[in-house]
């Protein structure tokens, strides 16, 4: 399905609307009645109330079940749409007097303007994220062209269509196309129209966007990230249990999810002990939260069995009840098997920068567990290595006004005009 000028249209009419898309966008830019942040926030707040009331449960509840995402986590994410959260976000990222900026010393006035037209290439790992990406574009007054991720379930179009019903002024600022990633000709049309391309995806998606874009087009990438926990040997069992709950709640599918645990040690026996202790806490959390999807459990069982059969495998594999912990001898950051399967590796603090710095833009969140006397030193080292969020056990928590991957998206979607 497509969403064009506030109407949901069948996909087979796509080419028809492509021909006039650029002129439609230029016509909107020529209008004097520019979109205001207040209108967007009003509509989002009203939409949030409808979501919480249960108006979209027929779509949302099956998605939560399929993705093993808790209702509590979903409601925390939905709060990002509230008036309070969005107003605070705009104040933090754009300033209290947005769109006016402080004048320069010579009296030069300055204001923030939208980039103009944004092309969003959405990822499919978090349902509702495509709609939120568009909302960030709307908050800054941009026209938004959204390419839906493969296998989109209809939630994004439903949410954005509902937003337009609540605020009709949005209808010429939202275009949604269900275009496969293989349709390069159509994607290039979007890329040529756009002033900025927002990419949610891995390195290949970012490379593809750069290849499509003109040199004059801004690329804003929110690429796939890797997150991990870092613990000292004196970590408490209750902290390991809280971390295990986070692993079970997110199933490790978010950029902020814990993929594995680095331990501040050189000693193999300490590493093995942490691995065994975390395995016990992970089993407890798994029982408390309920087992994950049977298909994912089966997939990972096969992977683990294959690992056990490898003759040169020096890893210690702890597996049972649908979860696993693999105590590994290397010190490399990597993606886990996901769905409650965690690696544990030694990484003395003196080696953190050496081992992690090479991952550059892939680093995101670290859940840090240490005594207070070690915290300041470890925070500084992790930050120098490239980590941009340092938390406790709830690594995927959201806080109003926090940066995204180390920068403010609303600033990325605007430009300063001086006169």
Q: Can you give the three-state secondary structure of 261-328, one letter per residue?
A: EEECCCCHHHHHHHHHHHHHHHHHHHHHHCCCCHHHHHHHHHHHHHHHHCCCCCCEEEEECCEEEEEC
Within-domain flag for 393: no
Token couple for 207:
């490379």
Token couple for 223:
């690429």
Within-domain flag for 317: yes
Token couple for 141:
């007054």
All residues at 6 or more sequence positions from 394 whose CB lies less than 8 Å from its CB, including other chains: 242, 246
Give the tens place of pLDDT for each residue, 287-335: 998 887 666 566 666 666 666 666 556 789 999 988 999 999 999 999 9
Within-domain flag for 394: no
Distance in Å from the first CA to the final CA of the chain = 43
Residue-range definition of the domain harbouring residue 133: 2-224+402-418
Picking from 70-84, 183-197, 264-278, which range would have the lowest pLDDT averaged per residue? 70-84
Asked if residue 171 lies in contact with residue 5, where contact means CB atoms within 8 angstroms, the answer is yes
> Above 90 in pLDDT, residue 384?
yes
The confidence score (pLDDT) of residue 61 equals 82
The pLDDT-based confidence of 4 (bands split at 50, 70, 90) is very high
DSSP letter string, 248-259: HHHTT-STTSEE
Do 219 and 237 lie in one domain? The reply is: no
> Above 90 in pLDDT, residue 14?
no
CATH of the domain at 95: 3.40.605.10
Do 216 and 250 lie in one domain? The reply is: no
Within-domain flag for 308: yes
The confidence score (pLDDT) of residue 71 equals 76
Length of the chain: 419
The confidence score (pLDDT) of residue 377 equals 98
Q: Which residue has the higher pLDDT, 293 or 140?
A: 140
What value does the mean pLDDT take over residues 401-413?
A: 93
Within-domain flag for 168: yes
Picking from 52-61, 83-92, 270-279, which range would have the lowest pLDDT averaged per residue? 52-61
- How far is it, in rounded angstroms, from Cα 145 to Cα 39? 19
Do 119 and 178 lie in one domain? The reply is: yes
Return mean pLDDT, the chain: 90
The confidence score (pLDDT) of residue 308 equals 64
- Look-up of token digits 């000292």: 232
CATH of the domain at 377: 3.40.309.10
The pLDDT-based confidence of 128 (bands split at 50, 70, 90) is low
- How far is it, in rounded angstroms, from Cα 220 to Cα 197? 6
Picking from 221-225, 228-232, 356-360, which range would have the lowest pLDDT averaged per residue? 221-225
The pLDDT-based confidence of 15 (bands split at 50, 70, 90) is confident
Which SS3 state, helix, strand or coil, does residue 124 take? coil
Percentage of the chain surpassing pLDDT 90?
A: 66
pTM for this prediction: 0.89
Number of domains in the chain: 2
Cβ count within 10 A of residue 59: 15
Within-domain flag for 395: no
The confidence score (pLDDT) of residue 401 equals 84
Percentage of the chain surpassing pLDDT 70?
A: 92
Do 40 and 154 lie in one domain? The reply is: yes
Asked if residue 117 lies in contact with residue 27, where contact means CB atoms within 8 angstroms, the answer is no
Do 220 and 330 lie in one domain? The reply is: no
The confidence score (pLDDT) of residue 309 equals 62
Cβ count within 10 A of residue 371: 10
Range 324-327 contact pairs with CB under 8 angstroms and sequence separation of 24 or more: 324/279, 324/300, 325/275, 325/276, 325/278, 325/279, 325/282, 327/271, 327/272, 327/275
Return the percent helix, strand and coil in the chain, to nearest 5.
50, 20, 30
> Above 90 in pLDDT, residue 72?
no
Q: Which residue has the higher pLDDT, 317 or 32?
A: 317
Within-domain flag for 396: no
Do 320 and 194 lie in one domain? The reply is: no
Do 103 and 139 lie in one domain? The reply is: yes
- How far is it, in rounded angstroms, from Cα 258 to Cα 249? 11
All residues at 6 or more sequence positions from 412 whose CB lies less than 8 Å from its CB, including other chains: 196, 218, 220
Do 280 and 378 lie in one domain? The reply is: yes
Do 192 and 177 lie in one domain? The reply is: yes
The pLDDT-based confidence of 351 (bands split at 50, 70, 90) is very high
CA-only gyration radius of the chain, Å: 23
What value does the mean pLDDT take over residues 113-136?
A: 86
Within-domain flag for 69: yes
Do 407 and 383 lie in one domain? The reply is: no
């Amino acid at each position: 399905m497509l969403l064009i000028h506030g109407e949901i249209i069948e996909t087979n009419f796509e080419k028809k609307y492509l021909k006039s898309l650029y002129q439609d966008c230029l016509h909107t830019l020529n209008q004097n009645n520019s979109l205001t942040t207040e209108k967007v926030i009003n509509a989002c707040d009203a939409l949030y109330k409808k979501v919480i009331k249960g108006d979209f449960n027929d779509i949302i509840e099956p998605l939560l079940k399929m993705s093993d995402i808790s209702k509590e986590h979903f409601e925390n994410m939905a709060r990002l749409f509230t008036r309070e959260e969005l107003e605070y976000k705009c104040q933090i990222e754009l300033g209290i007097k947005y769109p006016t900026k402080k004048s320069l010393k010579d009296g030069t006035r300055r204001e923030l303007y939208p980039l103009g037209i944004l092309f969003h290439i959405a990822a499919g790992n978090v349902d509702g994220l495509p709609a939120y990406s568009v909302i960030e574009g709307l908050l800054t007054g941009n026209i938004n062209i959204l390419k839906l991720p493969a296998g989109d379930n209809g939630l994004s179009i439903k949410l954005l269509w509902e937003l337009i019903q609540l605020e009709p002024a949005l209808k010429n600022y939202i275009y949604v196309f269900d275009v496969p990633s293989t349709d390069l000709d159509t994607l290039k049309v979007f890329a040529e129209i756009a002033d900025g391309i927002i990419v949610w995806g891995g390195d290949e998606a970012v490379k593809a966007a750069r290849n499509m874009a003109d040199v004059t087009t801004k690329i804003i990438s929110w690429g796939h990230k890797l997150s991990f926990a870092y613990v000292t040997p004196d970590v408490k069992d209750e902290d390991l249990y809280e971390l295990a709950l986070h692993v079970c709640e997110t199933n490790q599918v978010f950029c902020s999810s814990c993929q594995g645990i680095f331990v501040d040690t050189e000693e193999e026996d300490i590493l093995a002990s942490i691995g065994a202790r975390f395995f016990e806490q992970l089993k407890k959390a798994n029982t408390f939260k309920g087992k994950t999807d049977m298909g994912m459990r089966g997939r990972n069982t096969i992977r683990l069995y294959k690992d056990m059969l490898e003759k040169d495998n020096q890893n210690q594999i702890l597996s049972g009840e649908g979860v696993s912990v693999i105590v590994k001898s290397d010190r490399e950051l990597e993606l886990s098997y996901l769905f409650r399967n965690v690696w544990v590796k030694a990484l003395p603090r003196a080696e953190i920068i050496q081992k992690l710095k090479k991952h550059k833009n892939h680093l995101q969140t670290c859940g840090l567990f240490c005594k207070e006397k070690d915290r300041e030193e470890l925070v500084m080292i992790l930050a120098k290595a490239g980590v941009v969020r340092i938390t406790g056990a709830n690594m995927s928590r959201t806080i109003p006004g926090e940066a995204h991957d180390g920068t403010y998206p609303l600033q990325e979607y605007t430009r300063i005009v001086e006169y």
